[in-house]
A and B are shown apart, each in its own frame.
Chain A
Amino acid sequence: MLRFVGRRALYAIPLLLAIIILMFSMLHMIPGDPVQALVGDYPVPPAYRQVIEEKYRLNDPFLVQVGNYLLNVAQGDFGFSYQNQRGVLDLILERAPRTILLASVSFALAIPLGMAIGIAAGTTRRPGVDKFWTTTALIAYAIPTFWLGQLLVMLFALRLGWFPTQGIGPLISRTHGIAWLFEKLRYLALPVLAFGIHEGMRIARIMRASVIDTLSQGYIITARSKGLSRGQIIRSHVLRNSSLPLVTIAGYAFGSALGGAVLLETVFTWPGLGLLLVDSIRLRDNMTVVGVVIFSAVAVVAMNLIVDLLYAALDPRIRTMR
């Protein structure tokens, strides 16, 4: 098992290298003048331009720039964001916990919600119940998160005034303890609801298909023949077996959510990685863009590894294969 984990972690290295080089090349190909973007809407005097180009080594050949960057990353230096006047790593470490919080709470809502709907739709004997949940899940999944987010803001924030419209709360809070937690939750509620519903409906659709597949298996006939009740069969034979495909898909989705939910964070002005990425692209803050993308890639790769481990824990057939 340990060897397997080690091997998977080793595979991730060339993958990450490729992603970094690709990102670097793409940013290089985008038209526009990085010096101009840096200075802003003013004419750049040639002497100033020369100083900047030398400082950021913008005139080095492309491969030298990539090579230097890789060497720096290996030493934990992700470059400097001239728009934010801070180190890129510092910036990511500030933003990442907010995105991780948003993603974790959203999935903590989405997974039980999706599983419950999937099981209800997959195990019912009444076609109407299945049709109701299938349609509901399809419609809710088809609504883009940013639009769902805006609808929620209009209803719960603007009309009812229960929740704030955007942001993560005051920088310096006046509250403590329970009240502080409550304040945080009020800001978290709407983005989590939008994200959780969207992901939950995706999970519901997979879970339903998986439950129906499990119910058609021979061991369900065996379970019925043992004289087990419906509830017992669902609990001990359907639940675990039909969760297997879910682990894969929810795991990958969670991995990419850790890289930042760009549209959702934009709608709610949630200052996480997604918003940082959008702002950095707009401002041509290349170092930050590459840094955030590396972080996302690491998150996805790490989650894939965790998914494999979870899968092995749930399915004994996988365990003995290694």
Chain B
Amino acid sequence: MSASLLLDVNDLKVHLRLGHKVVKAIDGVDFQVRPGECVGIVGESGSGKSTMARAVTRLMPNVNIEELSGRLAFEGRDILGMADSELRALRRGRGFSMIFQDPLGYLNPTQRIGRQIQEALSRDAGRGSDKARVHTLLDEVGLPDAANLARRYPHELSGGMRQRVMIAIALASDPQLLFADEPTTALDATVQLQVLQTLYRLHKERNMAMAIITHDLGVVAELCDRVYVMRAGKVIESAETVTLFEQPQHDYSRRLIELSTRRLTRELQS
């Protein structure tokens, strides 16, 4: 274990009970993130990539967990064994945050945007009023007219704007690591690119590590330094992004790359 690792996951196992069957959603995964780097986690749906992010951030939904084990360390601190209060403190400031595929479902429909961001602000003294900080965050994620926007409700915004609001919420606690679970899948193609560019800019400006979960290798190629390829609850290949594209070790990775190049060519032709 190296001290320079921000997140160090070893032999993570998440087994879920579905009726009488036990599904090994995550089956012995190793996963590392260094400070300030961007890693991609790719794989088809059901490969366990979202479950892994949920398990690492301890945001598992209320499902029947048969087994949840492994060594999860954030800055050397054990996440799984952490007390609730310590975990909350980590989520409140300089820890990790997460954004999700469906920003509409993940924003409270009955609350104004501003309040939902304000709620997530880290509790640092001497950084101006909550209101001013919310406006700064909205500016930072590329949403103009912050004062007006803060008074809106989620359903009044477009999909891209909502995802930017989600990003603002995630940034409010000044995280060192941002998990992005299919952040652009639900968005229009043009908006996808803009949101990705924003994420990349924030990653660089804030020197914030990112873990992007996606089924789209194109996204990984654009943003990520390293990639983990997941399939059926296991990491089958991990490499530098360039290496993966040039010399994929595994058939499955090769097929994923072929598929995404083919799709890209099709998009370019049309």
Distance, CA A229 to CA B166, complexed state (A): 19
Q: Which residues of B contact A218 (CB under 8 A)?
A: 100, 102, 105-107
**Which secondary structure dominates chain B's binding surface?**
loop
Interface size for A (C-beta < 8 A) is 23
Contact B100 A216 (CB under 8 A): no
Contact B106 A216 (CB under 8 A): no
Contact B62 A225 (CB under 8 A): no
**Given A241-B110, A316-B110: A229 in contact with B88 (beta carbons within 8 A):** yes
Contact B109 A225 (CB under 8 A): no
Interface size for B (C-beta < 8 A) is 33
User: What does the 1/0 interface line of B112-140 toward A look like (CB < 8 Å)?
Assistant: 00001001100000000000000000000
Q: Which residues of A contact B91 (CB under 8 A)?
A: 224-227
Q: Which of A205-250 contact B (CB under 8 A)?
A: 215-219, 221-229, 236-237, 240-241
Q: Which residues of B contact A223 (CB under 8 A)?
A: 108, 119
Max chain A C-beta neighbours (<10 A), residue from B119, B120, B156: B119
- Total number of residue pairs linking A and B with CB closer than 8 Å: 75
Partner of A316, one of B59, B155, B173: B155
Q: Which residues of A contact B62 (CB under 8 A)?
A: 215-216
Closest B residue by C-beta to A212: B62
A94 located at the interface, meaning its Cβ lies under 8 Å from any Cβ of chain B in the complex: no
**Given A221-B61, A222-B169, A227-B173: A316 in contact with B109 (beta carbons within 8 A):** yes
Q: Chain B residues in contact with chain A, CB under 8 A? A: 57, 59, 61-62, 87-92, 95, 97-98, 100, 102, 105-111, 116, 119-120, 153, 155-156, 166, 169-170, 172-173
21 intermolecular pairs with C-beta atoms under 8 Å apart: A216-B62, A217-B105, A219-B105, A219-B108, A222-B106, A222-B108, A222-B116, A222-B166, A223-B108, A225-B57, A226-B91, A226-B120, A226-B172, A226-B173, A227-B89, A227-B92, A227-B120, A315-B110, A317-B153, A317-B155, A320-B156
